[in-house]
């Protein structure tokens, strides 16, 4: 599933990442690494951007950026 498809209050484990080099590097520098748990805190009123919690930090991503990240459900 894509990170952009997750609902508020849902958690997942990052399993992969697409995108071009600049976007991919920027997202990785923010802590979005394979195997890391990410939690969808909330969406903005117009559904863009979304606020995530990763490694204890609150991070906002645009939906188009979140669509480049694939996640697995937390068991």
| pLDDT mean by block of 10 residues, the chain; 75 residues | 93 91 88 93 92 94 92 84
What is the per-residue pLDDT for 75?
Answer: 61
Question: Rounded to an integer, what distance in angstroms lies between the CA atom of residue 39 and that of residue 20?
Answer: 24
SS3 of residue 31 by DSSP: coil
What is the per-residue pLDDT for 23?
Answer: 85
Alpha-carbon distance values, 29 to 19, 33, 43 (Å): 14, 9, 22
Structural domains of the chain in order of their starting residue, each with its CATH number: 3-73 (2.30.30.90)
SS3 of residue 57 by DSSP: strand
Nearest to 10 by CA among 34, 36, 37, 47: 37
What is the per-residue pLDDT for 53?
Answer: 96
């Amino acid at each position: 599933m894509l990170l952009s498809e997750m609902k508020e209050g849902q958690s997942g484990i990052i399993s992969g990442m697409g995108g071009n080099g600049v976007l991919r590097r920027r997202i990785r520098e923010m802590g979005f690494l394979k195997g890391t748990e990410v939690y969808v805190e909330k969406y903005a009123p117009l559904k863009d951007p979304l606020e995530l919690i990763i490694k204890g930090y609150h991070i906002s991503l645009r939906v188009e950026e979140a669509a480049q990240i694939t996640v697995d459900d937390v068991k």
